[in-house]
Amino acid sequence: MKAYDVYRLAALFLLHVSIVQAEPVTCDVRTRIESGWICGLRRWAENNTVYASFRGVPYAKQPLGELRFKELQPVEPWDYLDASEEGPICPQQDVFYGKLMTSQKMDEACIYANIHVPIEALPATTQRRPSRDLQPPYETGLSDEEEERHPGLPILVFVHGGGFAFGSGDSDLHGPEYLVSKGLIVITFNYRLNALGFLSLNTSSIPGNNGLRDIVTLLRWVQTNARAFGGDPEQVTLAGQSAGASAAHLVSLSPAAEGLFKRLILMSGTAIPTFYTTSPAYAKFIANMFLSQLSINTTEPEEAHRQLIQIPIEKIMNANSLLIDQMGLTTFLPVVENHFPGVTTIIDEDPEILMAQGRGKDTPMLVGFTTAECESFRPRFEQIDILTRLNENPLLMISPNVIFNTPTSDLLNIAKRVEQRYFNGLPSMDKYIKCCSDTYYIYPAFKLAQRRVAMDGAPVFLYQFSYEGEFNVIKEANGIKYKGVGHVEDLTYVFRVNSMLGSHISFPPSNDDDMMKGWMTKIVRNFVSCSKPTCNRHQGPWLPVDKELRYQDIVRTSYYWSTYPNQSQHEMMQFFDSIYNKTI
């Protein structure tokens, strides 16, 4: 045999091997979405519940190169995709989560979703290995008759928190094990963060709010592919925690998200700008700081864009890190946009105005806060020496939205009023944490509920999470102690924090903690099913917020405790109303 023939046979053999490997040797669970077949893994949740987990599924084309600041484009199709592992998280500097986040992979190509499905919900036809001869479109979904009989499971789409600057949808913090065992489809995902997600130059090239547009893209993707996972596209609940809750609420105010979901769960965050601001003046301020760090001195936005898409991601993230160290917890934020042709507008007006106009008022909401939100930030506050910063610049105790929407002559007077109410001439970390909790989380939760009642909109169910568990994930991760319930704690009874719980079968270490986990997941399960935390009269009297701001105090399990704002909360509301009514 001639050498040429040998090489030709070898090449044909390698081609055959590559064709065979195009179909995975083993595919534990599979389904076909619009872009191709995905192969996931069977995993186990509570009570030996088996679920199908599809991780690291691209929901759009990766925004690389010239696409760095562009709206996401449709993903390119594939034959088979290995969806057994989560994709890289988006570039970031984490200044809060610490041990709660364990991912070692970080990449600008980070637009991935994780879909977790009770195994019995997957359409049966998707489990049959397709024939080599089968050509698109693959007949793997349910027929119209089957869809009518089995409309699919409700879907929870969850937006991770992290100050618009860090975090991910990974199962280290957002383990789906509790919720899939309750019969829900759980979808978490990554979206662009910090400069990549929220830098605005007020141009069509870099309009801002790319992170929010990513959320809308993901919701559209869910509508397209819900049936492939055994889900009901008519029963999608959008949820989020912290900045993720604010992002979810902001998206709900946009016509771009109309029809993409049915209800909202907001945990420690709303679209009412308190810990952040949507002011274009702030967006310009932080953009100028960022460009200066990168030695981009042009006054032409398009030239700045040209340079930004050529700069290595490492250099961009170095500049971002310098800014977040200066700012504390957040840097780039959502912004009120101008309309640009070819760009999906998300925030077309100040969120306060949009809500006053009735945007989103027909969406049922479950809204919550914890008793001592900012205790979770104590290590970061100590790291940046917040008390010294407050002494040097008293304006730091005011919401940034007030700062960027108030005449300069009034700001010092507002700062003085805040100082008198919370510090009384003797600043301390405990007092600042109380001020922070009220300003950024508790007041806006009450205010959102109050406004919805005044509009006679869809019901809002409000809760205060007061349960102090024996095993506190935040305290354990950060090595700290405090009284009350901090930021993220309620989330840990809804999602399994796999980074801290490891291989434990159940929620350690006490029965009370395990019962609270069951209680919180039942509340979520009910709400995504019937738009109420209690779906029938036998489950207890959790009534929606009324004019007196009735809410549930979740301090223990087994019964519902309906209560009203106490005197301190009423005084807090009146105080911030007096500030916001004059400035917004």
Phi, psi of 238 (to 5 degrees): -95, 130
User: How far is residue 161's CA from residue 495's CA, in Å, rounded to a whole number?
Assistant: 13
366 pairs with which residues across the strands? Answer: 265, 461
Q: Is 160 a catalytic residue?
A: no
Q: Which of 373, 375, 419, 489 is catalytic?
A: 373
For residue 300, what are the contacts with CB-CB under 8 A and spacing of at least 6? none
Alpha-carbon dihedral 7, 9, 12, 13, rounded to 10 degrees: -110
Q: Quick check: 469 and 512 in contact, CB under 8 A?
A: yes
For residue 30, what are the contacts with CB-CB under 8 A and spacing of at least 6? 37, 38, 39, 40, 126, 127, 129
Q: Max alpha carbon distance in the chain (Å)?
A: 95
| Nearest in space to 252 (alpha carbons), one of 362, 360, 361, 158 | 360
Structure tokens at 260: 């993409």
Q: Is 487 a catalytic residue?
A: yes
User: How far is residue 560's CA from residue 542's CA, in Å, rounded to a whole number?
Assistant: 7
Q: Are strands 551-554 and 562-563 parallel, antiparallel or unpaired?
A: antiparallel
Structure tokens at 243: 């900045």
The amino acid present at 105, given as its one-letter code, is: K
DSSP-assigned states of every residue in 39-71: EEEEEE-GGG-EEEEEEEEESS----GGGTTSP
Q: Is 254 a catalytic residue?
A: no
For residue 6, with 0-12 CB atoms within 10 Å meaning exposed, 13-18 middle and 19 or more buried, which class applies?
exposed
The amino acid present at 192, given as its one-letter code, is: R
User: How far is residue 544's CA from residue 513's CA, in Å, rounded to a whole number?
Assistant: 26
Q: Which of 171, 205, 242, 254 is catalytic?
A: 242
Q: Which of 487, 489, 499, 531 is catalytic?
A: 487
335 dihedral zone (left: phi>0; alpha: psi -120 to 50; beta):
beta
Q: Quick check: 107 and 91 in contact, CB under 8 A?
A: yes
Active site residues: 242, 373, 487
